[in-house]
Amino acid sequence: MRNEKTEEIKSRLEEALKNSTCLKHPVAAVIYDICGDYAGSGWNGPPDFMKHDKCLRDGYPSGKGMELCPGSHAEIMAISNAAKYTGSTYMGTMYLSSWFPCVWCTNSIIKAGIKRVVTPDGIYESIEKRILAENLRN
């Protein structure tokens, strides 16, 4: 059963990643609710109606110039889609295709009641402690 769930999560992340229109770094996020049921997914990129043929952050180092980007982050879209279609993020788990979320997404994850974040580099059981540690370091 566990392998089937792992494969399902990987498959949903891969599908969401295909939808990303970000020119710099495609990211996908998938949320499962407290019962382990699929709640929603998201990917990063600007709104569908917006022309997007050049990254406004070209030349900026990673994590800089974020305010120039017109796109939504995958984490925010996943939370929005879960709220729109299932309404179940509380005590859930978010799986990400890449690194730990930015501070804005982390705050939204906390506000959505998601208690566990899984990235390729680790599992974070207490996201509040992680963001506190990050903020204290900076």
Q: Return the domain boundaries, the chain.
A: 2-137
Lowest model confidence (mean pLDDT) among 6-10, 31-35, 131-135: 131-135
Q: Average pLDDT, whole number, for the chain?
A: 85
The secondary structure element, H or E, covering residue 83 is helix 74-85
Q: Quick one: pLDDT at residue 101?
A: 86
Do 44 and 71 contact (CB within 8 A), yes or no? Answer: yes
Just give the CATH number of 2-137. 3.40.140.10
Helix, strand, coil percentages (3-state) for the chain, rounded to 5, are 40, 15, 45
The secondary structure element, H or E, covering residue 117 is strand 116-119
Do 96 and 118 contact (CB within 8 A), yes or no? Answer: yes
In a 3-state reduction of DSSP, which class is residue 38? strand
Taking residues 107-112, what's their average pLDDT? 90
Q: Quick one: pLDDT at residue 11?
A: 96
Beta partners for 117?
94, 124
In a 3-state reduction of DSSP, which class is residue 58? coil
Closest CA to 117 of 138, 136, 137, 98: 98
Q: Quick one: pLDDT at residue 54?
A: 82
Q: Quick one: pLDDT at residue 129?
A: 61
Q: Quick one: pLDDT at residue 88?
A: 86
Q: Quick one: pLDDT at residue 132?
A: 55
